[in-house]
Every structure is written in structure tokens, then in C-alpha cells.
Amino acid sequence: MHIGQTNYLPLSGPFFLSLFGLLSLVFVLVQIGALQFAYRRMGLHPGAAWLLLLGSLLGSYVNLPIVHLPEQQVVSGQVIDFFGMKYVVPIVVDWPGTIIAVNVGGALIPGLTSIYLASRNRIWWLGAICVVGVAGVCHTLAQPVRGLGIALPVFVPALSSAIIALLLSRRHAAPLAYIGGSLGALIGADLLNLDKVQGLGAPIVSIGGAGTFDGVFVTGVIAVLLASLTGARGPDGRHSGAAT
């Protein structure tokens, strides 16, 4: 087994480029000031927020192996279509079985950002409720897919977290949506379904990787849109709208 084979883009080229295009649009809107107040409402500096999204996108290439499950035969070098999204199964040589890994861009970065937002906005309990709600939805809709692992329709984390966040708190809807969508997808779709991955023939099952990464990434964008549409206030209690 070559360790470098655990690193690969989770989506096919056109779909990955579409997410990069979405990120570029966010960057332009931040530069012209259209979304700066939205990020500040979330408790993030606009520049730092864009770098986090960029880091998440680029970090999706990196998987950190943690567990090895024996497998008689693994799928290699395929593109799997699931709910209109095309996920890449890497080409592997001399593979020992199924590798459980943690994706840097889809798990580590969103996870750490969620903890920061919960602390910054002092919404630990609301965040926990939102995570539990989204995790329940994601766990119900996630499906084991041969050769891939666990997959989830792309907009499930973003839409479910947005609805639950608005019901919990309009003021903190944006950070709650990010926290709930990110951690809820990782827990509900990936972690709670790890018992189902053996026997799927997937060479790599990446927590926050192929199957859930796109949903987690879109959640970050939806959270920003929520911040721009709601009259939320910043963590200091003052309105954080555009400067006059």
C-alpha cells in the first residue's frame, strides 16, 4: 500500500470545479463588501472566513488514515453517481482492505470552525440541539454505497440545518446553521454509519470526504446567506450590518 494513494479529490473534476467557482463568487462578493457584514454576523473576519472555505476545498484532497478494516475485494478507479453528484473512487494498488480516514477539508477544518463559532457566539446548548437534529435527519437519509462508503444527498445538511437554526434562534441562525450542518453531517451520516462500511468494497471511507464533503462545503455557503438575510447581531450584542 502506498500512503499517497489515500489522498485524492473526492469529486469528479467538473463537480470540484463547480465548488471552486462557487468559492470564487463568494470571494468577489466579499471583496466588494456585499458579504462582509454577513461573515461578521457569524463571528468571523471576512478574510479569515474565505480562507477557511478555501482551506476546506483544498483540504478535501488530504485524508488521514486512522483504522484498517480487512476486505476481500475493493473497488478501484471508478466514478460513482449518487443523487446527481459524481464521486471518485481512487485507483489503488496492493490495497489491504478498507481504510477509515479523516478528511482534512471536510472534517477537521469544519469541526474546529464549529467549535470556534459555538464559543465565539456563546451558543453551546443551541449548537448541540441543532447538531442532534441535523444528525438525525442525515442518519435517516444517508445510504451505504458500494465502492464509496456512506453517501448523503448534497443539500440535506445545508437545508436541514438552516431550517432547524431558524427555528432555534433567528439572531444566531447563521453560526447555528454552520455548526449543525457540519457536525450534524459528520456525526449522523459518517460516524453513526461506520458499522455499515465493511463489505462495501470501498478502498477508503473518509469521514467528511467523498459522500459528505460537498454537503458540508455547501453548508458553509448557506450559513453565510442566512447571515445576510437575517437581522442577526454579533456576539457583542450590537448589530453587525454594513458600515455606513
- What's the confidence (pLDDT) of residue 200? 72
Give mean pLDDT, residues 219-242: 59
Give mean pLDDT, residues 149-178: 88
pLDDT tens figures, 186-218: 999 889 988 888 777 777 778 887 667 777 877
Q: Is the dihedral of CA 18, 23, 28, 32 positive or negative?
A: positive
83: left (phi over 0), alpha (psi -120 to 50) or beta: left
pLDDT tens figures, 69-96: 776 566 555 565 555 555 655 555 566 6
- How is the chain split into domains, by residue range? 3-229
How much of the chain exceeds pLDDT 90, in percent?
20
Q: Which of 47-56, 76-85, 154-163, 199-208 comes out lowest in average pLDDT?
A: 76-85
The C-alpha cell at 164 is 432547524
What is the rounded average pLDDT for all residues in the chain? 75
Name all contacts of 158-161 with Cβ < 8 Å and 24+ positions apart: 158/215, 158/218, 158/219, 158/221, 158/222, 159/222, 160/133, 160/134, 160/184, 161/130, 161/134, 161/219, 161/222, 161/223
Burial class (CB in 10 A: 0-12, 13-18, 19+), 148: buried
The C-alpha cell at 149 is 462508503
Q: Does the pLDDT value for residue 134 go beyond 80?
A: yes
- Partners of residue 79 on adjacent β-strands: 88
Write down the H helix ranges in 5-123: 13-31, 36-42, 46-59, 109-121
pLDDT tens figures, 83-131: 555 565 555 556 667 788 898 988 999 899 999 999 999 999 999 999 9
Q: Does the pLDDT value for residue 221 go beyond 60?
A: yes
Instruction: Assign 232 a pLDDT band (cuts: 50, 70, 90).
Output: very low
- Partners of residue 100 on adjacent β-strands: 67, 205
Place of cell 480562507: 51
What pTM was estimated for this model as a whole? Answer: 0.76
Helix (H) / strand (E) containing 66: strand 63-70
